[in-house]
């Protein structure tokens, strides 16, 4: 009798435990189902800049310094009592002070393009446009880590040059120096002796893409300085309008008008720059004619709707699509519902879907470590530029309370885009199979053999045009650190040949720095996009 009683007691407890387990499972399932349902809704809108992410803050402060490395110094404005004022790069000094003097224009400012001493107007203007965009979207982020003022100063250094380069309504100086002769020398910019001829576009030798990109730079910069220097802002906007009219009226590629440019910054077309410039002019002026330009017949002819492309100094379509999507997210009802504008947004979504690694339409062009890989030359330009666009689009979605992005039937959230942006940034900063930072001056293992003349030659060395090549061929690390330089990057198989003469991988550029500054500024704290530039 006692054994049977015990058995009955045990059975009772087992039944009670089973019932309890069922109840607990039901509660957990209900909570999970509710949370799953809730997760389909929009994520909260981020507030003002929150806690600083140290690695991105440190990287941003580093990247910003490369603009100082690349400045063509002007003794009139940058020197007091024979010394550079606030010169953050001790091995740099005055250079290019007479640029433009032979034609009676002052082109002593601006920035050198890469590791050489050329001033190429096309990529320089793109640098200014992207830097303006970064400031307009993430100026509060920059301010939180003390980088807004340096960014504005670097931008103005370029736009001062561009204003002077636009010497007449239909004239724009697009180049200082002869690249063929320039590349036959290896010397410091402070002691260069090669002649620096000027190249211009005009009505007889048009250059629509350069004129339009310069218009975009000035229009976007006019917004940056609108509240701090209204007179300067108005001057920039006046030049932007004139340049856009020039670009649109006298259509022609500068690669055709001036064939010698094909060896360095050959253009694949000017239609994207016209849309890019008109988009920025609409943001700067609210003039409906620019809106009609991008959404009407020109949009249909030039925008290549439905076909995602890569954002770069040469192709602005992806950037234009994201920029104009902004109007779709935040514009008035009559604007946001425009059919042409919707096509820009759909194409921007296609760009985003191509970037997300788990998307059905994801590009397979990636390294083993997850880096977007498009070009053997200047590898890092495309992944960094793509990540910047992804961060922007993520913030547009968050701020507008857009919950999801659909990629061929699969849904993704703003956080997925931000994760992609962070992954690309982290790769650049050292989270890669090589465990190498590609940002000079950041981390322990960064490039020491950068293809950069000024950095490779001791500041006290006396060299001529040719005898300086011994520094190019030297097996010693650069004596000067080109702080903030973003080098070309790894090959597809994630190898990197750390050789100064390997310009394909070790040469930096100012336009790479611009997209990197944009990306890092988006990640430096919890972010949100402003709803209006004006």
Please state, in angstroms and rounded to a whole number, the distance separating the CA atoms of residues 113 and 448: 20
CATH label of the domain that carries residue 226: 1.50.10.10
Which run of H or E residues covers position 119?
strand 119-120
Supply the pLDDT for residue 117: 94
Please state, in angstroms and rounded to a whole number, the distance separating the CA atoms of residues 371 and 423: 8
Supply the pLDDT for residue 22: 44
- The sheet with strand 172-176 has its strands ordered as 119-120, 172-176, 198-201
For residue 473, which phi and psi values (nearest 5 degrees)? Answer: -90, -5
> Is residue 49 in some structural domain?
no
- Catalytic machinery residues: 451
Q: What share of the chain is helix, strand, coil (3-state, %, to 5)?
A: 55, 5, 40
Residue whose token pair is 């992410």? 53
Beta strands in 177-321 (DSSP E): 198-201
Residue whose token pair is 């890469």? 114
> Is residue 28 in some structural domain?
no
> Is residue 316 in some structural domain?
yes
Torsion, CA 257, CA 262, CA 268, CA 274, rounded to 10: -50
Beta strands in 373-419 (DSSP E): 405-407, 410-412
**How many separate domains does the chain show?**
1
Q: List the alpha helices (DSSP H) in 400-507.
A: 414-428, 453-456, 469-473, 503-506
Q: Are 254 and 267 in contact (CB under 8 A)?
A: yes
Please state, in angstroms and rounded to a whole number, the distance separating the CA atoms of residues 171 and 153: 26
Q: Are 116 and 465 in contact (CB under 8 A)?
A: no
For residue 477, the tally of other CB atoms under 10 A from its CB is: 15
CB neighbours of 255 closer than 8 A, spacing ≥ 6? Answer: 261, 262, 266, 267
> Is residue 45 in some structural domain?
no
> Is residue 186 in some structural domain?
yes
Q: List the alpha helices (DSSP H) in 71-207.
A: 75-78, 121-144, 148-165, 179-182
Could you say which DSSP state residue 42 is in?
P
Here the tokens at position 113 are: 């393009």
CB neighbours of 86 closer than 8 A, spacing ≥ 6? Answer: none
Please state, in angstroms and rounded to a whole number, the distance separating the CA atoms of residues 119 and 179: 9
Query: In 3-state terms, what secondary structure has residue 258?
Result: coil
For residue 137, the tally of other CB atoms under 10 A from its CB is: 24
Supply the pLDDT for residue 534: 66
Please state, in angstroms and rounded to a whole number, the distance separating the CA atoms of residues 455 and 439: 15
pLDDT tens by residue, the chain, 534 residues: 334 443 444 445 555 454 455 444 444 444 343 333 344 677 777 667 778 999 999 999 999 999 999 998 643 343 333 234 555 788 888 888 889 888 999 999 999 999 999 999 999 999 999 999 999 999 999 999 999 999 999 999 999 999 999 999 999 999 999 999 999 999 998 888 888 999 999 999 999 999 999 999 999 999 999 999 999 999 999 999 999 999 999 999 999 999 999 999 999 999 999 999 999 999 999 999 999 999 999 999 999 999 999 999 999 999 999 999 999 999 888 788 899 999 999 999 999 999 999 999 999 999 999 999 999 999 999 999 999 999 999 999 999 999 999 999 999 999 999 999 999 999 999 999 999 999 999 999 999 999 999 999 999 998 889 999 999 999 999 999 999 999 999 999 999 999 999 999 999 999 999 999 999 999 998 766 677 776
Supply the pLDDT for residue 41: 74
Residue whose token pair is 């030049």? 239
Here the tokens at position 108 are: 């002593």
Torsion, CA 299, CA 317, CA 321, CA 173, rounded to 10: -90
Please state, in angstroms and rounded to a whole number, the distance separating the CA atoms of residues 211 and 207: 6
For residue 491, the tally of other CB atoms under 10 A from its CB is: 15
> Is residue 89 in some structural domain?
no
For residue 181, the tally of other CB atoms under 10 A from its CB is: 13
Write the Ramachandran bin of 308: left for phi over 0, alpha for psi from -120 to 50, otherwise beta: beta
For residue 41, which phi and psi values (nearest 5 degrees)? Answer: -80, 170
Q: Are 354 and 408 in contact (CB under 8 A)?
A: no
Please state, in angstroms and rounded to a whole number, the distance separating the CA atoms of residues 169 and 215: 12
Structural domain containing residue 149: 54-73+95-524
Supply the pLDDT for residue 304: 95
Most distant CA atoms of the chain, gap in Å: 118
> Is residue 5 in some structural domain?
no
> Is residue 42 in some structural domain?
no
Distances 14 to 1, 7, 10, 25, 65 between C-alpha atoms, Å? 20, 11, 6, 16, 70
């Amino acid at each position: 009798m006692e054994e049977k009683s015990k058995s009955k007691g045990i059975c009772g407890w087992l039944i009670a435990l089973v019932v309890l387990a069922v109840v607990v499972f039901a509660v957990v399932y209900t909570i999970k189902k509710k949370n799953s349902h809730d997760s389909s809704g929009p994520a909260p809108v981020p507030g003002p800049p929150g806690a600083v992410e140290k690695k991105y803050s440190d990287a941003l402060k580093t990247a910003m310094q490369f603009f100082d490395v690349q400045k063509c110094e002007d003794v009139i404005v940058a020197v007091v009592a024979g010394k550079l004022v606030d010169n953050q790069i001790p091995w740099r000094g005055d250079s290019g002070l007479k640029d433009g003097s032979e034609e009676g224009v002052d082109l002593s400012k601006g920035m050198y393009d890469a590791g050489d001493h050329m001033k190429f107007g096309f990529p320089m203007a793109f640098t200014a446009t992207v830097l303006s965009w970064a400031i307009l979207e993430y100026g509060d982020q920059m301010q939180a880590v003390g980088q807004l003022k340096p960014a504005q100063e670097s931008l103005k250094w370029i736009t001062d040059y561009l204003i002077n380069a636009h010497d007449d309504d239909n004239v724009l100086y697009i180049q200082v120096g002869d690249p063929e002769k320039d590349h036959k020398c290896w010397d410091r910019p402070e002691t260069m002796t090669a002649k620096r001829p000027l190249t211009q576009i005009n009505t007889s030798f048009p250059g629509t893409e350069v004129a339009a990109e310069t218009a975009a730079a000035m229009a976007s910069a006019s917004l940056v300085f609108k509240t701090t220097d209204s007179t300067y802002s108005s001057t920039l906007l006046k030049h932007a309008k004139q340049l856009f009219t020039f670009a649109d009226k006298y259509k022609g590629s500068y690669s055709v008008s001036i064939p010698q440019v094909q060896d360095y910054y050959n253009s694949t077309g000017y239609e994207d720059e016209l849309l890019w410039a008109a988009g920025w002019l609409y943001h700067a002026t609210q003039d409906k004619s620019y809106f009609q330009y991008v959404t009407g017949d020109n949009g249909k002819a030039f925008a290549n709707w439905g076909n995602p492309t890569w954002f770069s100094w040469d192709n602005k379509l992806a950037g234009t699509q994201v920029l104009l999507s902004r109007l779709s997210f935040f514009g008035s009802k009559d604007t946001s519902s425009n059919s042409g504008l919707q096509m820009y947004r759909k194409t921007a979504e296609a760009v985003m879907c191509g970037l997300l690694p788990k998307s059905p339409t994801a590009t397979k062009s990636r390294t083993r470590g997850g880096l977007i890989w498009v070009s053997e030359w200047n590898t890092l330009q495309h992944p960094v530029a793509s990540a910047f666009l992804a961060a922007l689009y993520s913030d547009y979605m968050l701020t507008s309370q857009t919950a999801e992005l659909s990629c061929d039937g699969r849904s993704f959230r703003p956080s997925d885009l931000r994760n992609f942006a962070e992954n690309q940034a982290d790769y650049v900063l050292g989270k890669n199979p090589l465990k190498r930072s590609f940002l000079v001056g950041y981390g322990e293992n960064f490039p020491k053999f950068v293809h950069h003349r000024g950095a490779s030659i001791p500041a006290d060395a006396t060299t001529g045009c040719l005898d300086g090549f011994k520094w190019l061929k030297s097996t010693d690390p650069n004596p000067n650190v080109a702080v903030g330089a973003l080098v070309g990057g790894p090959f597809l198989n994630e190898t990197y040949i750390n050789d100064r003469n390997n310009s394909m991988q070790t040469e930096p550029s100012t336009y790479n720095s611009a997209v990197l500054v944009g990306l890092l500024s988006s990640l430096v704290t919890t972010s949100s996009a402003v709803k209006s530039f004006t």
